[in-house]
Amino acid sequence: MSEKKTSNNQKHDKVRAACVKALILLEQGETLEKSISLAVSGQEFRSIDRRFFLQLVNGTIKMRRRLDHEIKFYLAKPSTELPLKLKNILRLGFYQLHFTDRIPDAAAVSESVNLALLMIDRSKANLVNAVMRSAIREPNKIIFAPKEKEPVKYLGDFYSYPDHFVEYCLNEFGFLATKNLLAYYNEAPHVTYRVNFLKAKPDEVANILTENKIQFSNGKYLPEFLRIESGGLPLESELITSGKVYVQDESSGLAVRLMNPRPGNSILDMTAAPGGKTTYAAIRMRNKGRVTAIDKTEERLEVLVGNCERLGIKIVSPVISDMYDFKGGPFDRVLLDPPCSGWGSAGKHSDLRWAKTSEDTTKLASIQQSMIGRASKLVKPGGVLIYSTCTIIKEENDMVVEEFLAKHKEFEVESAKEFYSDDLVNDKGYVKTYPSAGKLDGSFCVRLKRKDHA
């Protein structure tokens, strides 16, 4: 990796230095996106450096609890809180030792020592050297809580998650399924390409990927989705920029297929930007009909408009509006994808596990309940409301729908079994996906029909 010299002639790897800066900024309260942006500002990274930077940052953030647990076994005073810079240099160093397979131990140690010399002082550099070398010599010093007696602590420490999420999963899924789910979220995330029918066919894109030796697998439920098995965004210019594909997880497309938009329909997407579901609906409508896409911010809608232009979509009408102030309708189909805790896509958002609390979930469920009530007023008699989230938490999914149905007798569930196989649909007719089961993000969606009183 690239090196530069500081004023004291101390060599260091600027990629790793940027990593530590990003980790510190995040812990100080910045968003992950802002932390990354500030850390690399003014740096000229090659694409390989950028990928290495993101791998280290995201991996270290994900595994933060596990790393802290490991580090304490090699400290003279394990209970003492380490200074912010030292703590994150050690986290990054231990991540390289234990969770990467291409970085030699000696390189991980020497680069961590260099960072301590650069960012702190000689004494802390000596401490980093001693701690990391001890970890290499005595790996068996690390122990974990007994899984039978303390499953929450064991799973939280070993797989690096907050206790509240581990507890929820254990209560909902049991030990083995929870273990598999947590392990899956720690794997390197993959991207999925959704083929744009307006510009290409799935076979055409599949052939392009094959010709370029890009490994992929077909969508499990939706044939126009192709899961890329390698990292990055392969053939970005040829496929993404050209509009032949859109990057979207297959789980996100399930809600649109369940909505079953038809050419000529009037569709409302109530939280539309950046446009994944909006554009998929328009494409399934073959550019015939109207998709009204509302969002509160102009900047987010500009991204949606740009996506529509790139994909060749002409039937989307963007509207800047709070959903409670929106005047329009009623519509044949209404799609509501409200703000949620995001626990279905925790593998792709490394900071989510530390940013979300159980109290957040309760607050979100209240907001979701209000939003679905508002959405229901914009559905025609005989029309359909789709409620969709990217979380696996029942309080934001099943419970929101069931409370809504108790208050709105004019709606009923139309089972998703008309659209999907039994392995995807539960006995209430809801669609649920889990990453450890089908390699899709975790998600939920339900089809609610407004009874036709005419």
* Domains of the chain, earliest start first: 3-141 (1.10.940.10), 151-185 (no CATH), 192-247 (3.30.70.1170), 252-450 (3.40.50.150)
> Could you count the other beta carbons within 10 Å of the beta carbon of residue 62?
26
> 49 vs 439, which has greater pLDDT?
49
**Contact in structure between 112 and 89 (CB atoms under 8 Å):** yes
Given the residues 19, 308, 340, 390, select the one marked as catalytic: 390
Q: What is the pLDDT of residue 437?
A: 77
Judged against a pLDDT cut of 60, whether residue 4 lies above it is answered with no
Nearest to 24 by CA among 78, 60, 52, 67: 60
Q: Does 445 participate in catalysis according to the annotation?
A: no
Give me the mean pLDDT over the 33-54 stretch.
Answer: 93
Q: What is the pLDDT of residue 453?
A: 64
Judged against a pLDDT cut of 80, whether residue 9 lies above it is answered with no
Give me the mean pLDDT over the 68-93 stretch.
Answer: 95
Q: What is the pLDDT of residue 232?
A: 82
Residue 444 token pair: 């939920």
Residues 360 and 338: their CA atoms lie apart, in Å, by: 14
Give me the mean pLDDT over the 92-111 stretch.
Answer: 96
pTM of the model: 0.92
Report how far apart the first and last C-alpha atoms of the chain are (Å, whole number). Answer: 69
Nearest to 431 by CA among 400, 388, 399, 393: 388
Give me the mean pLDDT over the 152-165 stretch.
Answer: 98
Q: What is the pLDDT of residue 227?
A: 95
**Contact in structure between 91 and 71 (CB atoms under 8 Å):** yes
Say if strands 266-269 and 331-336 run parallel, antiparallel, or are unpaired: parallel
For 414-432, write each residue's pLDDT tens digit. 999 999 999 999 999 999 9
> Could you count the other beta carbons within 10 Å of the beta carbon of residue 302?
15
- 3-class secondary structure per residue, the chain: CCEEECCCCCEEEHHHHHHHHHHHHHHCCCCHHHHHHHHHCCCCCCHHHHHHHHHHHHHHHHCHHHHHHHHHHHCCCCCCCCCHHHHHHHHHHHHHHHHCCCCCHHHHHHHHHHHHHHHCCHHHHHHHHHHHHHHHHCHHHCCCCCCCCCHHHHHHHHHCCCHHHHHHHHHHHCHHHHHHHHHHHCCCCCCEEEECCCCCCHHHHHHHHHHCCCCEEECCCCCCEEEECCCCCCCHHHHHHCCCEEECCHHHHHHHHHHCCCCCCEEEECCCCCCHHHHHHHHHCCCCCEEEEEECCHHHHHHHHHHHHHHCCCCEEEEECCCCCCCCCCEEEEEECCCCCCHHHCCCCCCHHHHCCHHHHHHHHHHHHHHHHHHHCCEEEEEEEEEEECCCCHHHCHHHHHHHHHHCCCEEECCHHHCCCCCCECCCCCEEECHHHHCCCCEEEEEEEECCCC
- Percent of the chain predicted with pLDDT > 90: 90
How far is residue 454 CA from its own chain's centroid? Answer: 43
Give me the mean pLDDT over the 282-299 stretch.
Answer: 96
Q: What is the pLDDT of residue 43?
A: 87
How far is residue 47 CA from its own chain's centroid? Answer: 22
Residues 93 and 105: their CA atoms lie apart, in Å, by: 9
**Contact in structure between 328 and 267 (CB atoms under 8 Å):** no
Judged against a pLDDT cut of 60, whether residue 157 lies above it is answered with yes
- The backbone region for 275, taken as left when phi is positive above 0, alpha when psi lies in -120 to 50, beta otherwise, is left
Average pLDDT, the chain: 94
Residues 385 and 383: their CA atoms lie apart, in Å, by: 7
Give me the mean pLDDT over the 380-395 stretch.
Answer: 97
Give me the mean pLDDT over the 2-25 stretch.
Answer: 76
Give me the mean pLDDT over the 126-142 stretch.
Answer: 97
Contacts with 306 (C-beta within 8 Å, 6 or more apart), sequence order: none
Say if strands 3-5 and 11-13 run parallel, antiparallel, or are unpaired: antiparallel
Give me the mean pLDDT over the 438-446 stretch.
Answer: 92
Residue 244 token pair: 């032949």
Q: What is the pLDDT of residue 6?
A: 40
**Contact in structure between 114 and 13 (CB atoms under 8 Å):** yes
For 179-216, write each residue's pLDDT tens digit. 999 999 999 888 999 999 999 999 999 999 999 999 99
Residues 356 and 362: their CA atoms lie apart, in Å, by: 11
- Cis check: omega of the bond before 234, within 30 degrees of 0: no
Residue 329 token pair: 């309708």
Residue with tokens 């986290």: 91
- Percent of the chain predicted with pLDDT > 70: 97
For 329-379, write each residue's pLDDT tens digit. 899 999 999 999 999 999 999 999 999 999 999 999 999 999 999 999 999
> Could you count the other beta carbons within 10 Å of the beta carbon of residue 329?
15
**Residue 101: exposure state from Cβ atoms within 10 A (0-12, 13-18, ≥19):** exposed
**Contact in structure between 184 and 436 (CB atoms under 8 Å):** yes
CA angle 360, 160, 345 (to 5 degrees): 55
Residue with tokens 């980790």: 23
Contacts with 430 (C-beta within 8 Å, 6 or more apart), sequence order: 397, 398, 401, 413, 416, 444, 445, 446
Judged against a pLDDT cut of 80, whether residue 256 lies above it is answered with yes
